[in-house]
Amino acid sequence: MMKIGMFLQVSDYTNWIFVVQFGVVALMLFIGNIIRRRIPIFRKLMFPTAIIAGFIGLGAKYLIWGLNINIDGNQIITNSFLQAITYHAIALGFIAMGLKTIRRTNDDNKLIGKPFKSGLVIVSTYLLQGVIGVTVSLVLSLFFSDMVRYAGLLLPFGFGQGPGQAGNIGTTFESLGFIGGNTFGLSIATIGVVWACIIGIFYINKNAKNKRTIKSDEITEVTKDVVEYSDEIPVSEAIDKMSIQIIFVILTYFASYLFMYFLTSLIKVEAITGLIWGFNFIFGMLFALIFKNISKWLRSKRVVVRRYTNNYMLNRITGVVFDFLIISSIMAIDVSKLANTQLWVTLLIMTTLGIIATYFYLRLVIKRNYKGYEHEAFAVFFGNLTGTASNGIALLREIDPNFETPASDDLVTGTSTAVLFGAPILIITGTISSVSNLVFWLSFLALIIFFVLFFYLLMRKEKVKQIK
């Protein structure tokens, strides 16, 4: 111990700052779990523990700051730390999701669910939310001096992508002149999660009352996930199986970082490089898919005999990082910036119109494309496209506790294909904030055109193949 002290002052707070701040976040999550279990209304509305913990943590943060509680003059919780968790957690969560092995049918080896349609549903909803959001911010920017016309593009990132990406893009917009962009994006995401819970439960109860669905008496933790397949590596040998999963996730993220670093070293335009770093989760998902396909190819060639990834453990990793993502994103909200009347008025109008449009749009396209399990599909997609993936799964468990319908698979496969369909949004995000009126209007027009195109692909009649 003395030898360690020669090189490292172990009692120095700088060596403990990460542990202390992470401990504060973990404590809030623990308190949130106790409150959720003790107060029935939170369980009935299926409010995620992380959301409850986030609001408790937000209040605790300002209490700590107000009382000037510190250690050796250092704050025990900072916004920069919370924003760092939010930024990295979304990428790690999507990588873990991307590394999962997607289930296939036994007879024809086809993917379970509807990957193509689900990807279109996800991205077309993003586009609709973008059109509504930009329309609101464009109109209000004529009356509000603190509002920028492109701020509404944060609506699909807050609703569709969740707090991590809303915070990332909000920060990018803030660097381009939108004061309070980060807090605005995080607030949209938080409101979206609350609406996902309230409206989602209302929808489930309404359909259960009308005998359209069978509501589970209580949420069960039992799923159809297999803990371990026979062709996988054992749980414990020279290295623990969970360690292998964590290694794959971290190495994939490391590869994503190297690629983003290389890409930004070639592109010197600040607006573009900011977006590249902001879309860290997209590159993480892409490299996860690349890694998964390489592993699949190596197994097909018998270079690698056993499967190293495990869906059950990757699900646990995803759950952990998303819990910390949600609580950190809410705690990172700067309440002082929301004191600006122009921002919160815009926020309320934008999110209200956004949630109404999302509800009715999803009812329309899902009824058209998910016959036989439209209510389960609506629950999982509405929860995901207004809140987070965990909201979607929580709502689905109320009416399909054992995941007997393909709805959960639609969410996973749809998220993967949405990465490909989402290219237009990535490009538009980089151009719509331009000071050029022409570039802005072309970007807005492109947003509308792509929405109409994707909507057409979802609503067109499929040709029935006749058997000769």
Reported as half-sphere exposure (CB side, CA atoms, 13 A), residue 311 has a value of: 14
Alpha helices per DSSP H over 142-180: 154-156, 163-175
Burial of 400 from C-beta contacts in 10 A (0-12 / 13-18 / 19+)? buried
pLDDT tens string 54-108: 889 999 999 999 888 888 778 889 888 998 888 888 889 888 888 887 655 544 5
Position with higher pLDDT, 171 vs 351: 351
| pLDDT for the residue numbered 220 | 45
| pLDDT for the residue numbered 219 | 43
| pLDDT for the residue numbered 415 | 73
| pLDDT for the residue numbered 404 | 74
Position with higher pLDDT, 212 vs 156: 156
On the question of pLDDT at 372 being above 70, the answer is yes
Residue 305 DSSP SS3: coil
pLDDT tens string 392-412: 877 787 777 766 778 877 877
Average pLDDT, the chain: 82
Position with higher pLDDT, 30 vs 340: 30
Closest CA to 249 of 328, 314, 315: 314
Strand locations in 34-143 (E): 70-71, 74-75
pLDDT tens string 343-365: 889 999 999 999 999 999 999 99
| Pair of tokens at residue 225 | 């996930």
Residue ranges of domains in the chain: 12-77, 84-104+129-459
- In the numeric block, the tokens 């899902």 are attached to 366
| pLDDT for the residue numbered 455 | 95
Q: What is d(CA 357, CA 156) in angstroms, rounded to the nearest whole number?
A: 12
pLDDT bucket at 232, cuts 50 / 70 / 90: low
Range with top average pLDDT, 89-93, 145-149, 438-442: 438-442
Q: Are 401 and 222 in contact (CB under 8 A)?
A: yes
The pTM (predicted TM-score) of the whole model is: 0.74
